[in-house]
């Protein structure tokens, strides 16, 4: 028996440009859509707080929709068929709509599905979403009927829906979302939306890609009695119903980790409660939940890999502030963005990252590596209403950065944005400088290493984020200082894996030495040339300057010449294995280079073998433990390698130019 109350799909007439199967709104959510939907949904709810004295509540739960009760809703399949026919022999269309067809027809018996499991996201203590026809600043209109539009309300008025709404559509196998809300003035609004492609209706007329599930007057239903009982909302707030789910893809653990990673501060300050399929996370059990889902406090993931972040050390930095000398807090009122705090938790195993937050949502916007101090986790918080507004304008559509290019005035960065970035960096760096002075003790200046020690993890990145970087200085050595990393470094390298990055203990320094040290404390001469440019082989006690080393058989000789490069090695965990990223610095272009890799197993490993074999390199070709046919450019070069024993290693490098 149908319960649809005369609702069905409506697509307007397409009079303009044809829209194909590539929808750019999903690009920000190509990774784990379950992780992304948590971040996006809660952020929008926090932008619409009704009563600041009470926490916002957000529930994630299942909802089953039966085909016999909502046949017109399931009739979206006829439009999918038409979209597929409109783009014959188009691989993108066949992939997109073929998967939709499989989803609607994949059962054990091969028959069409009789019901669909949906994800229902409900928020409470929020203002709901008001609707005004053709007003792109009204949240309901912005979410369902506009693309690339954010409400940009300075104080939440039902969510700030821009590109982030792609997270909702990306999660649905049918690119379909239903929204039911009760607004601040207690008005009901309900409508569904889908994002397909241009196609033909039953009359042969060309239809738009965007369809709406409603009663046909091109507006949401605003009379409560006309909304189907399954979708009606009884309290102020909003329900988002993501139509269809791949059961095998449901990631409860991933969703809970997204809550803890992105909103632990919001929950800690009692501004948020979250329920993920009957698992509640609130202020009282937050610490226990973090302990349950994160077995270590070391945040080893790249700053560009939020799905693998670990919130424990940052939570502890704030939770245990000032209980001991290892938990410190700095407070200041900055000229542009007002009152700020910087919490620091010091421990030698921590990875020198800072998490950044602002007052509006207290969501972790982004993280950044800062090596001015070794062995800490930091938390920067802007607690000021004025500062919150400025920083919100500086966020990108994915809400994962503060950048002056996002807040413009007459085509140039707004003066407030320029000042805000400088103030934040100066404040954080000054705090770290003070802490470094306290713990510096005996140290030695290692000349020329400031570029290497201040290469943050967002430069190193990962394969999915190749080329992305928050750092402003990358490449050929320059005297210009970046906003993120400034000043000289006075320390000693004692190891080249990420675990043993730096030491400031005097006993680790080589006495009376001015210059660069290798991981064993020796001079960096293993890959160099002398002052005259002639070849120097450190393993040959009597080198013959100017002579190259010969390779190959008689009559087909090649020569290799030692060249001067510097490097830093960083270990990245990949599941139960390790990748090793080498940042190679060359002072000139080398069209055909060879790197000989010397391997030593990490000292913490039980297996002390140094016979590891390279099985993968993202550049060049592998021969034994050499990487050949490399093209090195002047400045920084990134090389990722992997060993067959899956262990973490210390690495030495000797570089040659092949002629």
Last residue of a domain, one of 205, 226, 250: 250
Q: Are 138 and 130 in contact (CB under 8 A)?
A: yes
Q: Are 649 and 497 in contact (CB under 8 A)?
A: yes
Which runs of E-coded beta strand occur in 442-515? 492-493, 502-503
Same domain, 105 and 130: yes
Overall average pLDDT of the 548-567 stretch: 63
Residue 465 counted as domain residue? no
Name the nearest CA neighbour of 500 among 602, 601, 640.
602
Q: What is the pLDDT of residues 206-230, one digit of tens each?
A: 999 999 999 877 789 999 999 999 9
Report pTM: 0.68
Same domain, 239 and 322: no
- State the maximum Cα–Cα separation within the chain, in Å, rounded to a whole number: 95
Same domain, 142 and 28: yes
Residue 512 counted as domain residue? no
* Per-residue 3-state assignment (H helix, E strand, C coil) for 306-359: HHHCCCHHHHHHHHCCCCCCCEEEEEEEECCCEEEEEEEEECCCCCCEEEEEEC
Report the number of distinct structural domains present in the chain.
3
Phi, psi (5° rounding) for residue 348? -60, -20
Same domain, 52 and 155: yes
∠ CA 225-228-233, rounded to 5°: 75
Last residue of a domain, one of 431, 447, 469: 431
Q: Cα separations (Å) of 541 from 251, 513, 523? A: 60, 21, 16
∠ CA 513-514-516, rounded to 5°: 100
Q: Are 254 and 34 in contact (CB under 8 A)?
A: yes
pLDDT of residue 488: 27
pLDDT of residue 143: 86
Residue 505 counted as domain residue? no
Q: Are 362 and 265 in contact (CB under 8 A)?
A: yes
Residue 177 counted as domain residue? yes
Same domain, 146 and 284: no
pLDDT of residue 476: 32
Residue 299 counted as domain residue? yes
Last residue of a domain, one of 250, 275, 290: 250
Q: What is the pLDDT of residues 39-80, one digit of tens each?
A: 999 999 999 999 999 999 999 999 999 999 999 999 999 999
pLDDT of residue 314: 98
Q: Can you give the residue range of the structural domain that contains 69?
A: 8-250
Same domain, 197 and 302: no
pLDDT of residue 33: 83
Same domain, 245 and 277: no
Residue 384 counted as domain residue? yes
Same domain, 553 and 631: yes
CATH label of the domain that carries residue 557: 2.60.40
Same domain, 241 and 268: no
Q: Say which residues have a Cβ less than 8 Å from residue 545's Cβ, sequence separation at least 6.
A: 530, 532, 534, 535, 536
Same domain, 236 and 318: no
pLDDT of residue 487: 28
pLDDT of residue 148: 53
Strands 56-66 and 8-13: unpaired
Q: What is the pLDDT of residues 432-474, one digit of tens each?
A: 999 988 766 544 344 444 444 445 555 555 443 333 333 322 2
* Alpha-carbon span 529 to 640, nearest angstrom: 25
Residue 417 counted as domain residue? yes
pLDDT of residue 513: 30
Residue 477 counted as domain residue? no
Same domain, 18 and 160: yes
Same domain, 558 and 536: yes
pLDDT band at 248; cut points 50, 70, 90: low
Q: Is 273 helix (H, G, I), strand (E, B) or coil?
A: strand
């Amino acid at each position: 028996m149908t319960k649809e109350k005369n609702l069905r799909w409506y697509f307007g007439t397409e009079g303009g440009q044809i829209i194909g199967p590539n929808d750019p709104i999903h690009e920000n959510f190509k990774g784990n859509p379950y992780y992304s939907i948590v971040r996006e949904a809660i952020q929008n709810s926090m932008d619409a707080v009704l009563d600041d004295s009470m926490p916002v509540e957000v529930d994630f739960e299942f909802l089953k929709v039966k085909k016999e009760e909502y046949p017109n809703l399931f009739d979206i399949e006829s439009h999918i068929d038409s979209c597929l026919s409109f783009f014959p022999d188009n691989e993108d269309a066949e992939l997109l709509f073929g998967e939709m067809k499989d989803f609607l027809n994949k059962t054990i018996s091969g028959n069409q599905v009789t019901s669909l499991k949906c994800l229902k996201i409900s928020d409470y203590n929020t203002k709901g979403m008001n609707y005004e026809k053709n007003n792109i600043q009204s949240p309901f209109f912005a979410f369902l009927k506009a693309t690339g539009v954010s409400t940009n309300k300075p104080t939440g008025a039902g969510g700030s829906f821009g590109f982030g709404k792609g997270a909702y559509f990306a999660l649905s196998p049918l690119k379909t979302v239903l929204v039911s809300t009760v607004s601040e003035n207690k008005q009901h609004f309900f409508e569904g939306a889908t994002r397909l492609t241009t196609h033909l209706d039953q009359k042969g007329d060309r239809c738009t890609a965007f369809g709406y599930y409603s009663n046909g007057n091109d507006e949401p239903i605003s009379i409560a009695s006309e909304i189907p009982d399954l979708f009606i909302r009884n309290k102020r707030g909003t329900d988002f119903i993501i139509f269809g789910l791949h059961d095998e893809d449901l990631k409860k653990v991933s969703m809970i980790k997204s809550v803890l990673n992105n909103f632990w501060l919001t929950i800690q300050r009692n501004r948020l409660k979250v329920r993920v399929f009957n698992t509640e996370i609130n202020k009282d059990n937050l610490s226990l939940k973090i302990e349950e889902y994160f077995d270590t406090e070391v945040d080893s993931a790249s700053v560009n890999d939020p799905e693998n972040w670990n919130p424990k050390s940052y939570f502890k930095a704030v939770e245990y502030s000032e209980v001991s000398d290892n938990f410190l807090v700095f407070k200041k009122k900055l000229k542009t963005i007002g009152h700020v705090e910087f919490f620091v938790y010091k421990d030698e195993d921590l990875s020198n990252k800072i998490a950044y937050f602002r007052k509006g949502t207290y969501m972790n916007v982004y993280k950044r590596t800062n090596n001015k101090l070794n062995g800490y986790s930091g938390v920067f918080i802007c607690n000021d209403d004025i500062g919150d507004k400025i920083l919100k304008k500086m966020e990108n559509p994915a809400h994962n950065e503060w950048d002056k290019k996002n807040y413009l005035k007459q085509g140039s960065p707004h003066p407030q944005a320029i000042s805000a970035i400088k103030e934040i960096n100066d404040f954080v760096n000054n705090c770290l400088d003070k802490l470094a002075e306290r713990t510096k003790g005996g140290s030695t200046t290692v000349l020329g290493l400031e570029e290497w020690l201040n290469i943050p993890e967002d430069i190193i990145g990962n394969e999915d984020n190749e080329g992305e970087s928050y750092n402003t200085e990358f490449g050929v050595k320059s005297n210009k200082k970046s906003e993120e990393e400034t000043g000289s470094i006075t320390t000693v390298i004692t190891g080249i894996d990420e675990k043993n990055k730096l030491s400031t203990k005097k006993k680790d320094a080589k006495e009376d030495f001015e210059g660069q040290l290798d991981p064993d404390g020796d001079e960096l001469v293993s890959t160099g040339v002398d002052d005259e440019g002639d070849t120097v082989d450190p393993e040959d006690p009597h080198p013959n300057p100017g002579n190259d080393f010969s390779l190959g058989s008689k009559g087909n000789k090649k020569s290799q010449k030692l060249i001067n490069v510097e490097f830093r090695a960083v270990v990245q965990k990949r599941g139960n294995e390790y990748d090793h990223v080498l940042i190679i610095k060359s002072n000139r272009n080398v069209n055909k280079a060879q790197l000989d890799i010397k391997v030593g197993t990490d000292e913490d490993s039980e297996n002390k073998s140094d016979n590891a074999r390279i099985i993968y390199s993202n550049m060049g070709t592998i021969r034994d433990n050499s990487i050949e046919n490399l093209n090195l450019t002047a400045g920084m070069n990134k090389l990722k390698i992997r060993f067959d024993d899956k262990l973490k290693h210390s690495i030495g490098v000797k570089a040659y130019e092949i002629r």
